[in-house]
A and B are shown apart, each in its own frame.
Chain A
Amino acid sequence: DSGVTQTPKHLITATGQRVTLRCSPRSGDLSVYWYQQSLDQGLQFLIQYYNGEERAKGNILERFSAQQFPDLHSELNLSSLELGDSALYFCASSVGSSANYEQYFGPGTRLTVT
């Protein structure tokens, strides 16, 4: 158990809908990262927040957005969902803002868009 929690574990929704994925980092960690993992694909970095502020952006679609709240939990919002958005979405946390810190991954949210 990494100490990172993600909800929900599974999500099935229809095209065009909007969903929110939630992540609580490990106690004491200030950085939250979001990743997308499609079938047979590696981990695609989406976005990073550090202590409430956006720190880095990766291959995140304009239909996707995220935020980190004062209690450091983070939410990833996915809208106008398409079939291709079906994937595992991981949240990871680390104590610092640098990539040299170990990242602790949550169990993921499996999103299925039908």
Chain B
Amino acid sequence: GQSLEQPSEVTAVEGAIVQINCTYQTSGFYGLSWYQQHDGGAPTFLSYNALDGLEETGRFSSFLSRSDSYGYLLLQELQMKDSASYFCAVSLTGYSTLTFGKGTMLLVSP
């Protein structure tokens, strides 16, 4: 089977940097995606990593280490609007679907 582990909640203050970790146990791993979901809203795509290393998109960066079965999402210059749930999701070779983690709720305070 597959399993993904991410912290259930992370808190930070405005302007800070926060890292949300995701570890996975799968066979046939292909890539790791990150999605953001504001309370009750539609999840929105943030990033995708298939190769080791860091991908940067504005204030958000995502990292993958295939050998460690580990990835993280890095959010810089935190803003109140970043308060949301963040989900990591794995895609597997030969499969057309994503398996999502249970999500990390990020609370940004003033």
In the bound assembly, the distance between CA atoms of A100 and B48 in angstroms comes to: 8
Say how far B31's CB is from chain A's closest CB, in angstroms.
Answer: 6
The yes or no answer to A103 lying at the interface (CB within 8 A) is: yes
Taking a contact as CB atoms under 8 Å apart, the answer to whether B42 and A103 are in contact is no
**Segment among B62-70, B75-83, B87-95 that sits at the interface with chain A:** B87-95
Q: How many residues of B contact A (CB 8 A)?
A: 24
Interface residues in A, total, Cβ within 8 A: 29
Residues of B within 8 A of A48 (CB): 96-97
Instruction: Return the chain B residue nearest A33 by Cβ.
Output: B97
Secondary structure type dominating chain B contacts: strand
Could you give, for residues 46-67 of chain A, a 1 whenever the CB lies within 8 Å of some chain B CB and a 0 otherwise?
0010100001101000000000
Would you mind naming 23 contact pairs between A and B with Cβ atoms under 8 Å apart?
A2-B42, A42-B103, A43-B43, A43-B87, A43-B100, A50-B96, A56-B97, A90-B43, A97-B96, A98-B91, A99-B30, A99-B91, A99-B92, A99-B96, A99-B98, A100-B30, A100-B48, A102-B48, A103-B98, A104-B45, A105-B42, A105-B43, A110-B40
Extra A-B contacts (6), CB below 8 Å, given A42-B87, A50-B96, A108-B41: A41-B102, A56-B97, A58-B97, A100-B50, A102-B33, A107-B41
Give me the interface of A with B, judged by CB distance under 8 Å: 2, 4, 31, 33, 41-45, 48, 50, 55-56, 58, 88, 90, 92, 97-100, 102-108, 110
